[in-house]
Each structure stands twice: as C-alpha cells, then as structure tokens.
C-alpha cells in the first residue's frame, strides 16, 4: 500500500513540473519533504525522487545553493545517477564555491559510497582554494580524496586524473597508479609519463616502459603541470630507450638503440656518459671497424670530460687488445692518479707494464724495458715477468746496466706503491648509512660486498635501489665478515668517491669508504688478514 501511495504522490508532483506549475509544485513538494523528515525511515528511492524535484524547482527559481543542497540529499537517498545526470550537471555548474556545509555533505556521501563523478570533481576543484598549489598537492587529505575519486570514476573524469597526477608529481611518488593516470592523461604531461616509465623499469616491465618512453620522444612540445621542468624529458627518454634496446633486449635491437642514442645527441652533444654508452655498444660488436668507432666515442667522452674514468678504462682495455701497451698504460695511470681506489686498477697497470716491458725488449729498447722492470720490482719484488726479462737482458748484454736512463723513459710506477697493503678478495659485509649527527639514514643493514680492502679503507658494492641514501661525505658503518672470525669487524668512515658503472643499466653500484673509526683490536685483525692474503698470493 505504501509503494502505491508514494507512486501516486510522485506522479502528481511530476505533473506539476511537466506543466511548469512551479508554485503549486513547490507547495506540494514542501508537504512531501515535511512528511519525509517526520518519517524515521522513509523509502530511499521515493525520498530521492522528491528531493530531486525540489532541486529542480529551486534551480528554476535561481536558488542555486538550495538546489545543490537538495541534490546532495537526493544523492544520499540513492538517486538514479543516469536518469538525473543532466540535472546533476546543471546544478553543479551553477555552484562557484563550496561552503563548509557543502564540503561536509559531500564527504559524508563519499564515505557511504553515494557520490557521483560530478560531485567528487566539485570537491576536488573547490578544496582549500586559499592554499597555494604546492600546499594543496602536498596535502595527504587532498590526495586521499583524489585517489578515492580516481579508483571509482577516474578514467571518466579528466579533472580527477589531472589533480591526482599533480599530487603524484609534487610528492614524487612512483606507483602503478602513476602509470594508469599517465596513460589516461596522454602525452602532454611528459614529466608524469617519464616518472611512470622509471617505475616500470624498476619493476622489470620493460615493454610497458618502452611504450611510455616512445610516447615521450614522439611529442614535439611538452606541457608541465606546476613549474618549469628541471630537465628536457626527451633527452633521458631517448637514453632510456637506447639502454633498453642495447642492454636489455640486445640482439636485433642494437641498431634501433643506437638510433635512440643519436636522437639524444641531437638534444645534448655535451654528454660524456652518452658517448660512453655508444662506445660500449661498438666495443662489444665484432670487427676492427667497430673497435675504431668505439675508440672514437670514448675519445669524444674525454674531450667533454678529460677525467672520465670509464672512458679511460675502456680505452686502456682496447689498446691492450691491439697491443698498444704504452697508450693503455697512460690511460690506466690517469685513473690511478685520480682514483686510486678504482677496482683492480693496480693490476691493470702491472699487466700493461709487463706487456710493454716485453714488447720493448723484443724490439731492442733494452734501457726502456729495464726501467719498466725495475719499477715493477719496486712494487712487487716477486714479479716473475720482470725477473725473467731482466735475466734475458743480462744474457743478451752482460755487464752493469747503464745509469744514464733519461727521465722520459721512466714509467713512474713507483708512485703507485701504496702506503697500506691492499687485497682484492671479495668479502661479505653489512652496510649502515649514518648522517653527520648519527641519525640513521638507512636504519636497516643491507648486504654488501667489500673489495680492495686495506687498513685505510675499502670499495663497497651495494644494490642500486639503495643509491638514494648514499651521498658524498655521508658516514657509513661497515660490518666486515672476515673468514674464521665469529664477530664481524666494525669500521666507520665517510664515502669519499663513487665508482662509475661499466654498463648502461646495472643492478649494483660501488663507492669507496675511508676508515676513520676502527678499534685497535679490529685494526689488528684486519692487518693480519691483509698480510696473510698477500703472502698467500
């Protein structure tokens, strides 16, 4: 009986509205609203229709706030959104500002899941209008409403997507939602797209990352949301695409990767690391032509940055393979002068010196070969190669060696002899990064590998995803697990330099640490371990 009575009332009200008899309709609608308010449990659909009619009547009278409030009540009772979509749009378009009462009503609707895209957009659009954009997009509450709106209506509402995208950009957040939003927003938001590609790369979703990066490089004009960008996102997009093609996909993608790197060079010709990447690619391909191309790229890197360690290192290796040992030694020596903790650089210098000494000996340059051999023996008196060459020289030309060797023929190897003995055996360790105030920057202890170990310091290798907490000069505490010792050795000191990677995309990074704090007992253990391993080599 109740349903039939309510249906008759709604039909009567609808007739007033269809005939545009708004005064009579308003009077009758007010009576129905009074009945609803007096009824402790009115029927939801019935109440929703009555308040929707009330909203429509107030809209025709120009009472936009009363119309909006009636609409919110109607939505709360379960208004048929599709049926009244035009009314929702008309009323919402008339509200230029949300007062506290409206905001609270909208929040209540969201909490009981009775919201609409239009109403959510209004809340997002009018939220904290007195705040600066930075304050608003840093607000966790604002981000909460935006995320809630996106999960329910985001792909159907451009404003919701844009506002949540701005929240992610300001907070520099990387997540799956970032990628979903950037897909929907399109290529004009290049900084958001680029951040999404980095998220995908970090999660090994290279195919998705490649699609995002291609959408970036295909655009000629970029639009930024809040402030001018710190970089031209086209350049790192080209580089990342080159890295994916050359170091992830490889094979037939190498040529395509080179084209992406060349696209990056058109934007920035003064990027040494880009020339190093191209050098790496050509170095790994067969043929003398490719080797020469690799040398050219590494030399271009040195023209931009004469101290570029990676370029020096690979040029040294290339010259070793082509038996140009003096050139190789020059490049290795440059690294040793500037970065003496570079992994195995002493070994490479010794190898290049041994080969150069033998080459000079075979070519008849006895004095130069003899000087190199003496330098090698000053570093390691047990160097077998140097001892054998000197004996061969004595057999060929017996008698005291000449003493008037010019300074130009000296290799200067003696200057690489270290104050403290050093070993290259890898050891397991745990790393903890501290601030200058001893406040933890990286509270957990992360597994690491220690090499080039001495009493003075070491080279530490850690996972690349921990790079954000590693800064030059930051204090680091290292637990080194020496063989045969139950308790780890503890050493503390600053990060003094980073060791550049020798590949384009990599999973770990290395840095050098100088030991400033180490107990006498641990120092003695470390000294014994280093001496023991040197004697066993």
Alpha carbons 472 and 350: distance in angstroms, whole number: 30
Q: For residue 512, is pLDDT > 60?
A: yes
Which residue spans within 327-404 are E strands per DSSP? none
Alpha carbons 464 and 469: distance in angstroms, whole number: 11
Classify domain 427-536 at the CATH topology level: Thrombin, subunit H (2.40.10)
Across 71-76, average pLDDT: 83
- How confident is the model at residue 314, as a pLDDT? 94
In sequence order, what are the beta bridge partners of 427? 450
Across 289-313, average pLDDT: 93
CA angle 10, 15, 18 (to 5 degrees): 120
- Confidence label for 352 from pLDDT (cuts 50, 70 and 90): very high
Across 308-327, average pLDDT: 92
Burial of 22 by CB count in 10 Å (0-12 exposed, 13-18 middle, 19+ buried)? middle
Which one of 307-316, 337-346, 466-475 scores highest in mean pLDDT? 307-316
Predicted confidence (pLDDT) per residue in 277-288, tens digit: 999 999 988 788
Predicted confidence (pLDDT) per residue in 379-424, tens digit: 888 888 888 888 888 776 655 444 443 444 444 444 444 556 777 7
Overall size of the chain counted in residues: 537
According to DSSP, residue 189 is labeled B
In sequence order, what are the beta bridge partners of 229? none
- How confident is the model at residue 475, as a pLDDT? 82
Q: For residue 156, is pLDDT > 70?
A: no
- How confident is the model at residue 403, as a pLDDT? 43
- Confidence label for 295 from pLDDT (cuts 50, 70 and 90): very high
Q: For residue 172, is pLDDT > 70?
A: no
- How confident is the model at residue 401, as a pLDDT? 44
Q: Tokens standing for 445?
A: 């202890």
- How confident is the model at residue 25, as a pLDDT? 83
Range with the lowest mean pLDDT among 69-73, 351-355, 440-444?
Answer: 440-444
Task: Of 86, 83, 96, give the one whose Cα is nearest residue 49.
Answer: 83
Sign of the alpha-carbon torsion through 155, 157, 159, 163: negative
- How confident is the model at residue 221, as a pLDDT? 47
Q: For residue 262, is pLDDT > 70?
A: yes
Q: For residue 316, is pLDDT > 80?
A: yes
| Torsion, Cα of 193, 196, 198, 199 (10° steps) | 180
User: In the chain, what percentage of residues exceed pLDDT 70?
Assistant: 76
Does residue 500 contact residue 464 with C-beta atoms inside 8 Å? Answer: no
In sequence order, what are the beta bridge partners of 497? 512
Q: For residue 302, is pLDDT > 90?
A: yes
- How confident is the model at residue 367, as a pLDDT? 87
Name the phi and psi angles at 193, rounded to 5: -60, -45
Domain locations in the chain as residue ranges:
1-95, 323-417, 427-536
Alpha carbons 10 and 32: distance in angstroms, whole number: 9
Name the phi and psi angles at 450, rounded to 5: -110, 135
Across 168-178, average pLDDT: 63
Across 347-360, average pLDDT: 90
Does residue 457 contact residue 425 with C-beta atoms inside 8 Å? Answer: no
User: Which residues make Cβ contacts (< 8 Å) with residue 439, sequence separation at least 6?
Assistant: none
Predicted confidence (pLDDT) per residue in 179-234, tens digit: 666 666 655 567 667 777 777 787 787 887 888 788 778 765 444 333 444 556 67
Alpha carbons 117 and 166: distance in angstroms, whole number: 18
Containing 458, the helix (H) or strand (E) segment is strand 457-463
- How confident is the model at residue 410, as a pLDDT? 45
What is the pTM (predicted TM-score) of this model? Answer: 0.48
- How confident is the model at residue 1, as a pLDDT? 38
User: Which residues make Cβ contacts (< 8 Å) with residue 46, sequence separation at least 6?
Assistant: 6, 10, 36
Q: For residue 509, is pLDDT > 80?
A: no
Helix (H, G, I), strand (E, B) or coil at 62: coil
If DSSP states are collapsed to H, E and C, what string results for 201-255?
Answer: HHCCCHHHHHHHHHHHHCCCCCECCCCCCCCCCHHHHHHHHHHHHHHHHCHHHHH
- How confident is the model at residue 327, as a pLDDT? 93
Taking residue 13's Cβ as centre, other Cβ atoms within 10 Å add up to 21
Alpha carbons 365 and 396: distance in angstroms, whole number: 12
| Torsion, Cα of 277, 280, 281, 286 (10° steps) | 160
Name the phi and psi angles at 184, rounded to 5: -75, -35
Predicted confidence (pLDDT) per residue in 460-493, tens digit: 888 876 666 677 667 888 899 888 877 888 998 8
Containing 389, the helix (H) or strand (E) segment is helix 384-396
Containing 297, the helix (H) or strand (E) segment is helix 288-304
* Centroid of chain to Cα 109: 38
According to DSSP, residue 461 is labeled E
Alpha carbons 372 and 351: distance in angstroms, whole number: 12
Helix (H, G, I), strand (E, B) or coil at 320: helix
Name which residue leads in pLDDT, 332 or 412.
Answer: 332
- Confidence label for 441 from pLDDT (cuts 50, 70 and 90): low
Alpha carbons 349 and 335: distance in angstroms, whole number: 10
- Confidence label for 311 from pLDDT (cuts 50, 70 and 90): very high
Q: For residue 500, is pLDDT > 70?
A: no
Average model confidence (pLDDT) across the chain: 78
Taking residue 215's Cβ as centre, other Cβ atoms within 10 Å add up to 17
Across 289-306, average pLDDT: 93
* Centroid of chain to Cα 58: 54
- How confident is the model at residue 279, as a pLDDT? 93
């Amino acid at each position: 009986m109740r349903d039939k009575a309510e249906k008759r009332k709604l039909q009567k009200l609808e007739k007033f509205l269809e005939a545009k008899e708004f005064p009579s309709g308003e009077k009758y609608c007010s009576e129905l609203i009074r009945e609803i308010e007096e009824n402790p449990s009115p029927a939801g659909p019935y109440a929703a229709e009555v308040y929707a009619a009330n909203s429509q009547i107030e809209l025709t009278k120009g009472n936009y706030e009363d119309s909006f409030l009636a609409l919110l009540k109607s939505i709360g009772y379960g208004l048929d959104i599709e049926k009244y979509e035009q009314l929702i749009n008309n009323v919402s378009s008339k509200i230029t500002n949300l007062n506290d009462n409206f905001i609270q009503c909208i929040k209540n609707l969201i909490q009981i899941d009775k919201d609409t895209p239009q109403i959510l957009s209004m809340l997002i659009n009018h939220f904290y209008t007195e705040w600066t954009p930075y304050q608003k997009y840093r607000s966790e509450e604002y981000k909460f409403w935006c995320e809630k709106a996106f999960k329910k209506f985001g792909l159907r509402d451009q404003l919701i997507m844009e506002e949540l995208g701005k929240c992610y950009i300001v907070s520099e957040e990387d997540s799956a939602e970032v990628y979903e939003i950037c897909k929907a927003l399109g290529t004009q938001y290049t900084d958001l797209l680029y951040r999404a590609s980095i998220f995908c790369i970090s999660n090994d979703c290279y195919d998705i990352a490649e699609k995002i990066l291609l959408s970036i490089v295909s655009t000629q004009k970029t639009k930024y949301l809040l402030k001018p960008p710190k970089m031209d996102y086209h350049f790192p997009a080209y580089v990342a695409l080159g890295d994916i093609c050359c170091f992830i996909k490889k094979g037939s993608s190498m040529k395509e990767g080179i084209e992406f790197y060349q696209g990056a060079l058109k934007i920035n010709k003064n990027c040494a690391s880009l020339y190093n990447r191209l050098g790496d690619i050509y170095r790994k391909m067969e043929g003398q032509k490719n080797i020469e191309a690799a040398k050219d790229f590494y030399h271009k890197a040195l023209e931009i940055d004469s101290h570029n360690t990676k370029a020096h290192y690979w040029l040294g290796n290339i010259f070793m393979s082509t038996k140009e040992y003096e050139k190789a030694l020059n490049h290795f020596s440059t690294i040793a002068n500037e970065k003496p903790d570079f992994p195995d650089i002493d070994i490479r210098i010794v190898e290049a010196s041994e080969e150069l000494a033998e080459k000079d000996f075979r070519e008849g340059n006895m004095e130069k070969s003899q000087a190199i051999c003496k330098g090698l023996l000053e570093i390691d008196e047990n160097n077998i190669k140097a001892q054998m060459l000197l004996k061969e020289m004595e057999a060929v030309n017996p008698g005291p060696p000449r003493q008037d060797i010019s300074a130009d023929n000296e290799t200067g190897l003696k200057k690489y002899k270290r104050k403290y003995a050093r070993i290259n055996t890898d050891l397991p360790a745990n790393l903890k990064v501290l601030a200058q105030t001893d406040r933890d920057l990286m509270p957990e202890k992360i597994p690491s590998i220690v090499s080039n170990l001495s009493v003075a310091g070491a080279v530490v290798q850690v996972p690349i995803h921990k790079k954000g907490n590693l800064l030059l000069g930051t204090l680091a505490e290292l637990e080194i697990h020496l063989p045969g010792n139950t308790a780890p050795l503890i050493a503390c000191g600053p990060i003094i330099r980073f060791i550049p990677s020798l590949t384009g995309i990599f999973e770990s990074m290395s840095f050098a640490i100088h030991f400033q704090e180490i107990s006498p007992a641990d120092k003695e253990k470390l000294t014994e371990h280093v001496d023991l391993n040197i004697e066993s080599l």
